[in-house]
Amino acid sequence: MVRRWARKWVNSRELPVSFRGCHGKTFSLYDNPAIRDELRSFVRSNKWAVNPEKLVEFSKAKMVPTAAAHYLEHITNFEIPEGLKKYMELELFPRIQLKSSKGISLATARRLLRREGFQFQKYKKSLYYDGHERPDVVADRQQRFLPEMAKYEEYLVEYIIGDVEHELWKMPNNFVERRLVLCAHDEMTAQANDDVGKGWIFDGAQPLWKKGAGRGLHQSDVICSTVGWLQEASHTLEYGKNYEGYWTGELFVKQVLVSLSSWSDSASSQYWQLKEKIIPAFERVHGAGFRMLLMVDNSQGHSAYAKDALLMSRMNMNPGGKQAHLWDGWFMHHGNKITQHMIFPQDHPEFPGMPKGMKYVLIGRGLWQDGLRVRCKDCTSNHCCAKQVLDHQPDFQAQKSLVEEVVESAGHRCIFLPKFHCELNFIEYFWGATKRYLRNNCNYTFSTLQANMPKALASVEVHTIRKWEHRMKRWMEHCKHFSMFYDKTL
Ligand SMILES: [Zn+2]
């Protein structure tokens, strides 16, 4: 660099100007909640060009299967991304006054769609979800999920296979902890006109309905093998009347919450349900001898963090500016755990009351090196940049998501399912049975749906739920022994 400066001086009698602090932060469209919502509602509202005649043929199952598959592939891979691209460039960007120099590539549009779970799949009777074979998903399942489940196994209440009325007798070696009950949580939606067998599958779970499919119910429930459906934990949300165009429950919940408060609170309904309903309901039904092992899916809301959580991504390099006010961290020094404030004191001469930023946090830990950059394009070690150093600090590594914090602070445990592995959650069978009941008792009115929902949920017997739990465990065993079969990278 000194040579370069010298050369510049020799050639032009000028010294280079520093660009420090002049770089714009990189910005992903998807990081902006308002844009993300716009994109989601667009994607879900069928505004792309679809040949109507072909769609009719397809939906009446008149198209030759191979032709139908071909046509759908074309829609998914070209027409929808093309429509999304146009929408973003001609409508969304001008509206939010965003300039995109090169426009949006088809690949970007496809990536956004995939991120929204938008892939066409055959709607099969048995549960089937794509994405299993992705190497990161396989790794997460094999290296995190299954070992974590194995760790809990000796404490789990289980019933005998083939004799689900009787509990499996277990006496762990060190029986100090309370026994664990596996509780499965999930969300689903049901519409008053739920009687169709074909649809677009979104987020791996729910068929996608045409706009104006009517009012519906969004359910968030918990089941366990000891008592079955946890009625008191159940949470129902109505939708559809004033929110036409938003089809899926999850999106809807987010939409409503966004309109009511700020985006950062959108996960709050889940915590509210967790704190006010699920945990108390579990404790009332099971008593003090049991802890809950709550199984939740890996969706965005569930991996949300508290607004002052220790996350490097929310920090700047230097003090002050726009960055989160994090809670205290800690580090080890000569065997002592030392608390570190992430905000300078009010009487600090230079940065009173300001967030410290990465540099000063690292200085405080004796880890700062001159020239350390924020992050690398391709990291080479766990100390090549400030991001790596901080991410490997014990307090940052131990940062838990909000769901974990709420569950664990109440003395319970939770486990996140690997992505795309909804079939590992035995509550999927519960939804299947609930929906069957609703379909069989459907008269296409919303009031009937409302009246039927609690009956449908209560109609499933606990013995059936125990059998589903066994089915799920067979699945897990299968994953353990046949990981080679799935892992195509091997
Ligand atoms: Zn790095």
CA of 381 to the centre of ligand 1 (A): 6
CA of 300 to the centre of ligand 1 (A): 26
C-alpha angle 187-188-189 in degrees, rounded to nearest 5? 140
pLDDT at 204: 38
State the pLDDT confidence band at 461, using cuts at 50, 70 and 90: very high
Of residues 372 and 261, more confidence is placed in 372
The span from the CA of 367 to the CA of 391, in Å, is: 13
CA of 365 to the centre of ligand 1 (A): 18
CA of 273 to the centre of ligand 1 (A): 39
State the pLDDT confidence band at 50, using cuts at 50, 70 and 90: low
pTM beyond 0.85: the answer is no
**Mean per-residue pLDDT, 284-292:** 89
CA of 341 to the centre of ligand 1 (A): 24
CA of 364 to the centre of ligand 1 (A): 20
Alpha-carbon distances, residue 265 vs 27, 231, 262, 270, 362 (angstroms): 22, 26, 6, 10, 30
User: Phi then psi for 185, rounded to 5 degrees?
Assistant: -115, 145
CA of 209 to the centre of ligand 1 (A): 45
The span from the CA of 114 to the CA of 121, in Å, is: 13
CA of 373 to the centre of ligand 1 (A): 8
CA of 66 to the centre of ligand 1 (A): 48
CA of 419 to the centre of ligand 1 (A): 27
Of 46, 34, 450, 65, the C-alpha closest to 240 is: 450
Of residues 416 and 24, more confidence is placed in 416
pLDDT in tens, 334-353: 889 999 999 999 999 999 99
CA of 376 to the centre of ligand 1 (A): 4
State the pLDDT confidence band at 301, using cuts at 50, 70 and 90: low
pLDDT in tens, 133-158: 667 778 888 888 999 999 998 889 99
CA of 311 to the centre of ligand 1 (A): 16
CA of 386 to the centre of ligand 1 (A): 7
pLDDT at 352: 94
Of residues 271 and 10, more confidence is placed in 10
State the pLDDT confidence band at 406, using cuts at 50, 70 and 90: confident
- Residue 356: CA atoms inside 13 Å, Cβ hemisphere, count? 21
CA of 384 to the centre of ligand 1 (A): 4
Q: Residue 244: is its pLDDT beyond 70?
A: no
- Contact (Cβ atoms closer than 8 angstroms) between residue 477 and residue 144: no
Of residues 32 and 3, more confidence is placed in 3
The span from the CA of 479 to the CA of 473, in Å, is: 10
- Is 110 in a helix, a strand, or coil? helix
Alpha-carbon distances, residue 164 vs 55, 212, 225, 460, 478 (angstroms): 47, 43, 10, 15, 21
CA of 377 to the centre of ligand 1 (A): 7
pLDDT at 13: 85
347: CB partners within 8 A, 6+ apart: none
- Reading the block at residue 16, the tokens are 């280079």
Of residues 217 and 295, more confidence is placed in 295
The CATH H-level (homologous superfamily) assignment of domain 135-198+211-305+403-489 is Ribonuclease H-like superfamily/Ribonuclease H (3.30.420.10)
pLDDT at 373: 92
- Reading the block at residue 352, the tokens are 């009173």
259: CB partners within 8 A, 6+ apart: none
CA of 357 to the centre of ligand 1 (A): 17
pLDDT in tens, 186-235: 888 787 766 544 333 333 334 444 434 467 787 889 999 999 999 988 88
- Contact (Cβ atoms closer than 8 angstroms) between residue 236 and residue 221: no
The rounded mean pLDDT for the chain is 76
The span from the CA of 160 to the CA of 178, in Å, is: 20
CA of 382 to the centre of ligand 1 (A): 7
CA of 351 to the centre of ligand 1 (A): 27
The span from the CA of 212 to the CA of 69, in Å, is: 26
Of residues 225 and 17, more confidence is placed in 225
pLDDT at 197: 42
C-alpha angle 463-469-470 in degrees, rounded to nearest 5? 95
State the pLDDT confidence band at 167, using cuts at 50, 70 and 90: confident
CA of 259 to the centre of ligand 1 (A): 39
pLDDT in tens, 411-429: 899 998 887 777 678 898 9
pLDDT at 173: 59
CA of 391 to the centre of ligand 1 (A): 10
CA of 29 to the centre of ligand 1 (A): 24
CA of 378 to the centre of ligand 1 (A): 6
Q: Would you kindly state where each structural domain of the chain is located, as residue ranges?
A: 29-115, 135-198+211-305+403-489, 312-397
pLDDT at 74: 73
User: Phi then psi for 443, rounded to 5 degrees?
Assistant: -125, 20
Beta strands in 366-478 (DSSP E): 413-416
CA of 316 to the centre of ligand 1 (A): 16
CA of 389 to the centre of ligand 1 (A): 8
User: Which runs of consecutive H residues, i.e. helices, occur in 298-391?
Assistant: 357-364, 386-391
**Mean per-residue pLDDT, 347-369:** 94
What percentage of residues in the chain have a pLDDT greater than 70? 69
CA of 396 to the centre of ligand 1 (A): 16
State the pLDDT confidence band at 459, using cuts at 50, 70 and 90: very high
